[in-house]
Amino acid sequence: MQNKLHFINILGQGSGAHRKEDPDSFEYTLPAEITSIYPLTATEKLYQIQIIDPAQRNRFSFQPGQFVMLELPGIGEAPFSISSSPVRHGDLELCIRAVGNFTNFLNRVERGARVGISGPFGTSFPLEKMQGNDILLIGGGLGIVPLRSPLLAVLENRSRYGRVDIMYGAKSPAELLFTYQYEEWKRFDINLGITVDKADKSWKGRTGLITELLRERIAQASSLRENTYAIVCGPPVMFHFVCKMLTEAGLPMQKMFVSLERRMHCGRGKCCRCNIGSTYTCLDGPVFDYWSVMNLKEAI
Amino acid sequence: MIFKVFKKQELARLYELLAVNVIVGPVSRGNDRNGNPLYDFDVVYDFDELALDYTQTVHSPKRFVLPYHETLATFTTSPGGWEKHVDLNVYRPLVFFGMHACDINALNKLDLVLAQSTYPNPYYMGKRKNLFIIGIDCTPEPQCFCRSMGTDSAIHGFDLFLTDLGGKYFTEILTATAFDLLSEIKCTDPSSKELALYKHTAKEKSKRYTATVDTSDLTKILDLEFESKAWDAWGDKCLSCGTCANVCPTCYCYGVEEHVDLDLQHASKTKFLHSCNLIDFAKVAGGHNFRPTSASRLKYRYYHKHRGFVEAFEESLCVGCGRCGTACLADITPPEVIASVRGKE
């Protein structure tokens, strides 16, 4: 007599809800379509991506700061911060620089292309906690991309927040992103400071480092200890100087939020590529408060 | 736990009872250049192929639950779009005949991160839940430091565990399936003499460990010694080849690649196991590498195993099998690395 072992099928009958705890949600991609493409600079484009199924599109709900995995079948899958407002649900905007294999292919894709979206993943900026406070949004280079979602969410509920400052620095005027929206943003009673490292002939704005903008803002207040929150995103070297200045100006570490970039292959805390010590950037981040970042070796 | 004892010749009968399933076990693979026997886990078709007295396999059993290459999904493309097909690549239960305690514990640790966390990995879970594991006791090798890691005996994660008592096997039974199976061979409840012999065997085994790792306060030590020069010295030796992760029973990091078929109508998404020692592990598009030096990557590997995983799951990700040290081309072993970081030369 022989004993044939019982085969266990771990997948249920498919509830369709795809919760984080369900094994069948792991490799689940929502079919989506690129509905329009706006070139922003020579290398960055803003892609509007809509989840095709209306029910899935409405159910897709994210918080500013979260990211999605964008999949091009046969080409690859990569994580991107969401740049659109959360009220638009599954009608997403992703600002993407053509820099690697995946993004250079995406650069050649035309309107109407079918892509896959999974997510949203990761932590978000605690905008509810920030209500009633002044907000500093500080972005360097591509760092403005994850800042645009919280910015739009703040502008949509402008009366709930105090003074709002945006400080944005880029290498040159040609590399500034979302230039067509600056006037629109200013209409919401915000202070928009823009600086470039290197001006060209047509540039009439400021030249210099973003820390100078920040120094002027700090000089206008006696201390940032009360009623101020900051969101910082940029290259590693910018984190270092900006976070140090903010800390010295009295801003408590737990009121300063950063969004970190890491390599990711799954977005679900399994591939380990985004690990910083015990922390997965995809699960515990990409948004961290500065205290958590200070406590993590090699974070910034 | 329920204990039984059966005569050694009954083991072949146990094998025959399970032979209708696919059976994987330790097999002999010749000798290395020093004349020491080499072993591997592979599918076996006959009881006599099993080398149950094996010392240690070069590779861990992880490839049966985490294949080195695995197709996660396939796509069918058409001018209007594409369809994604997901297959977990698990079709039948697998019987693992003769797994040592360290490897059983390694699977238990993988369960923590791959099956019992947010976003459980179905590719792993499907294979893991369809494993019937018969554990077997071992004799500590010079590289084994499992006793230091608390993984020298397994208390869960198997169906049956056999301990050699000379002419008989002392058996720990953990599952109902295993209990039913044993009812079909001649076995008895252990006598007081056999119980005493079992305890004596366990005690004798614990005396044979030579390699040790001081794990006391290791998480704090690793934080305190993060800038230690010892890491640079080991980084200079390390070849960044990833062999350690290849043979490690608990290394699960991976990368994903997608390929378009030659007919341009199909595509596939493949997962391949990676290693944090490889240079491109943390390199992002645009060229920035978050761990550009060999030392930073080697340090990260120890930091993840002995510090990060402990913080997340209250236990280390290392089972102390010593395979990485044996396989390392630069002779880097965990007991030496940890001792030097602690400041003991």
Q: Give the CATH number of the domain where residue A66 resides.
A: 2.40.30.10
| Closest A-chain CA to B78 | A114
Q: How far is CA B114 from the centre of its chain?
A: 14
Q: Which residues of chain A neighbour B132 with C-beta distances below 8 Å? A: 5
pLDDT at B157: 93
Angle, nearest 10°, between helix axes B101-114 and B122-129? 140
Residue A8 in any domain: the answer is no
Of A23, A25, A27, the CB nearest to B73: A27
Q: Do B253 and A74 touch (CB under 8 A)?
A: no
| Closest A-chain CA to B278 | A273
Indicate the residue among A121, A136, A155 that finishes a domain. A121
Q: What is the ipTM of this complex?
A: 0.88
Q: Which residues of chain A neighbour B277 with C-beta distances below 8 Å? A: none
Distance in Å, alpha carbon of B146 to nearest chain A alpha carbon? 22
Q: Give the CATH number of the domain where residue A160 resides.
A: 3.40.50.80
Q: Do B88 and A11 touch (CB under 8 A)?
A: yes
Residue A83 in any domain: the answer is yes
Distance CA A274, CA A70 (A): 17
Q: Do A277 and B73 touch (CB under 8 A)?
A: no
- For A266-297, what is each residue's pLDDT tens digit? 989 899 999 887 789 999 989 999 998 888 87
- For A62-108, what is each residue's pLDDT tens digit? 999 999 999 999 999 999 999 999 998 888 999 999 998 899 999 99
Distance in Å, alpha carbon of B315 to nearest chain A alpha carbon? 12
Q: Going by DSSP bridges, is the β-strand pair A275-276/A279-280 parallel, antiparallel, or unpaired?
A: antiparallel
A269 touches chain B (CB under 8 A): yes
Distance in Å, alpha carbon of B198 to nearest chain A alpha carbon? 29
Of B122, B132, B267, the CB nearest to A11: B122
Q: Which residues of chain A neighbour B84 with C-beta distances below 8 Å? A: 29, 73, 116
Mutate which: B74, B266, B284, vs A, most A CBs within 10 A: B284
- Residue scoring higher pLDDT (B80 or A251): A251
Sheet architecture: strand order including B22-31: B37-44, B22-31, B94-99, B131-136, B160-164, B168-173, B2-7, B187-188
Distance CA A94, CA A117 (A): 11
Q: Do A277 and B311 touch (CB under 8 A)?
A: yes
pLDDT at A17 over 70: no
Residues A117 and A131 in one domain: no
* Band of pLDDT at residue B51, cut at 50, 70 and 90: very high
Identify the CA nearest to B331 among candidates B191, B137, B185, B143.
Answer: B143
Distance CA B234, CA B225 (A): 14
Q: Do A262 and B282 touch (CB under 8 A)?
A: yes
Tell which A residues from 1 to 20 touch B, by Cβ distance under 8 Å: 1-11, 20
Distance CA B54, CA B321 (A): 14
Indicate the residue among A96, A121, A146 that finishes a domain. A121
Mutate which: B273, B288, B290, B307, vs A, most A CBs within 10 A: B290
Q: Do B21 and A5 touch (CB under 8 A)?
A: yes
Residues A32 and A147 in one domain: no
Q: Is the distance from CB of A7 to CB of B90 less than 8 angstroms? A: no
Residues A276 and A142 in one domain: yes
- For A125-143, what is each residue's pLDDT tens digit? 999 999 999 999 999 989 9
pLDDT at A11 over 80: no
Residues A50 and A108 in one domain: yes
- For A155-178, what is each residue's pLDDT tens digit? 999 999 999 999 999 999 999 999
Mutate which: A9, A10, A33, A276, vs B, most B CBs within 10 A: A10
Q: Give every CB contact of residue A12 below 8 A, 6+ residues apart in sequence.
A: A22, A24
pLDDT at A15: 47
Distance in Å, alpha carbon of B49 to nearest chain A alpha carbon? 20
Residues spanned by the domain of A80: 25-121
Identify the CA nearest to B111 among candidates B2, B250, B287.
Answer: B250
Residues A239 and A256 in one domain: yes
Tell which A residues from 39 to 58 touch B, by Cβ distance under 8 Å: none
A110 touches chain B (CB under 8 A): no
Distance in Å, alpha carbon of B203 to nearest chain A alpha carbon? 35
Residue A91 in any domain: the answer is yes
What is the identity of the amino acid at A36? Answer: S
DSSP state letters, B26-73: EEEEEE-TTS-EEEEEEEESSGGG--TT----SS-GGGGTS-SEEEEE
- For B173-214, what is each residue's pLDDT tens digit? 999 999 999 998 999 999 999 999 999 998 988 888 888 889
Residue A9 in any domain: the answer is no
pLDDT at A12 over 70: no
Of B119, B130, B285, the CB nearest to A268: B119
Distance CA B326, CA B58 (A): 8
Identify the CA nearest to B135 among candidates B175, B96, B184, B177.
Answer: B96
pLDDT at B34: 87
Residue A247 in any domain: the answer is yes
Q: Which two tokens stand for residue A120?
A: 């949203």
Q: What is the mean pLDDT of residues B73-93?
A: 88
Mean pLDDT, all residues of chain B:
91
- For B236-286, what is each residue's pLDDT tens digit? 999 999 999 999 999 999 999 999 999 989 999 999 999 999 999 988 888
Of A5, A22, A99, the CB nearest to B177: A5
Q: Do B258 and A73 touch (CB under 8 A)?
A: yes
Residue A117 in any domain: the answer is yes
Q: Give every CB contact of residue B321 below 8 A, 6+ residues apart in sequence.
A: B56, B60, B100, B102, B103, B106, B143, B144, B146, B249
> What are the Cα distances from residue A159, in Å, to A132, A152, A189, A255, B12?
9, 13, 10, 20, 78
Distance CA B177, CA B160 (A): 10
Identify the CA nearest to A60 among candidates A87, A97, A24.
Answer: A87
Q: Do A297 and B303 touch (CB under 8 A)?
A: yes
Q: Which residues of chain A neighbour B122 with C-beta distances below 8 Å? A: 10-11, 23-24, 26-27
Indicate the residue among A88, A121, A154 that finishes a domain. A121
User: How many domains in chain A?
Assistant: 2
Residues A57 and A98 in one domain: yes
pLDDT at A94: 94
pLDDT at B117: 87
pLDDT at B76: 93
The dihedral built from the CA positions of residue B217, B221, B223 and B224, taken in this order, carries a sign that is positive
Q: Which residues of chain B neighbour A72 with C-beta distances below 8 Å? A: 258
Residues A178 and A145 in one domain: yes
| Closest B-chain CA to A75 | B258
pLDDT at B345: 55
pLDDT at A125: 94
Of A7, A29, A269, the CB nearest to B130: A7
A265 touches chain B (CB under 8 A): yes
- CB pairs below 8 Å between A and B: how many? 170
Q: Which residues of chain A neighbour B290 with C-beta distances below 8 Å? A: 262-263, 298
Distance CA B43, CA B34 (A): 27
Residue A2 in any domain: the answer is no
Distance in Å, alpha carbon of B112 to nearest chain A alpha carbon? 11
Residues A212 and A112 in one domain: no
